[in-house]
Chains A and B, each alone.
Chain A
Amino acid sequence: GNSVTQMEGPVTLSEEAFLTINCTYTATGYPSLFWYVQYPGEGLQLLLKATKADDKGSNKGFEATYRKETTSFHLEKGSVQVSDSAVYFCALSRTGFQKLVFGTGTRLLVSP
């Protein structure tokens, strides 16, 4: 079946450090891939997405590239800020935004 594996957290970084959160997936066919972010007390928000191999999704300085050969969609940011502290979820779907399959989430803590 379809599944998403992402690195366990928490990931603790200092402000302006480089961020990588690993995400790999198992799926039949060619799913769409997503990163969602959840700030404290709020609902999940779409951060970025990619719908086909080699696509790069980007938003707010974050980016991730759909790598079919390694079945990965790692999230990166060159310089994190304290305001980036949140839980990040990797997800996939075979049907656009419908029936999302999520990873377990990775908590990011950024200190000043």
Chain B
Amino acid sequence: GAVVSQHPSWVICKSGTSVKIECRSLDFQATTMFWYRQFPKQSLMLMATSNEGSKATYEQGVEKDKFLINHASLTLSTLTVTSAHPEDSSFYICSAGGNGGASFDDEQFFGPGTRLTVL
């Protein structure tokens, strides 16, 4: 299958700072990428759908000003957690569709995740 990478794999930051997480599709182009958040012993929760060249679509209850998503190219989407607080500590996972990512049959390929700890 196709490969999706995330960077960094883990990050620790101070409360009030901003953190950027990168998601890259290494050997294919993805028009659409997805960002998920996972709390310990809980499900992956979809946060937003990232669309190349346009604004992201956020799920209900996700603060778009808090979690800034930029999809500047067909192989890169970034998630910036702004003014991070301890409650933002979590595991963030991205996925990208193998054939652009937006159609019904586009299998999603997942990155290994980024663990964010806010002190």
Contacts and interface: CB of A to CB of B under 8 A. Distances in A.
Contacts of A89: 44
B107 A97 contact: yes
A70 interface: no
Nearest to B97: A97
Interface in A80-109: 89, 95-105
A95 B110 CA distance: 18
Question: What's the interface size class on B, roughly?
Answer: 20 to 34
B69 to A, nearest CB: 16
A43 B106 contact: no
Contacts of B104: 95-98
Contacts of A99: 34, 46, 49
A4 interface: yes
A42 interface: yes
B93 interface: yes
Contacts, number: 55
A104 B41 contact: yes
Given A100-B46, A103-B43, A43 B93 contact: yes
Interface in B82-119: 93, 95, 97, 102-113
B42 interface: yes
A44 interface: yes
A93 B96 CA distance: 16
A112 interface: no
Nearest to B1: A45
Given A43-B113, A45-B1, A100 B108 contact: yes
Interface of B: 1, 4, 34, 36, 41-46, 49, 93, 95, 97, 102-113
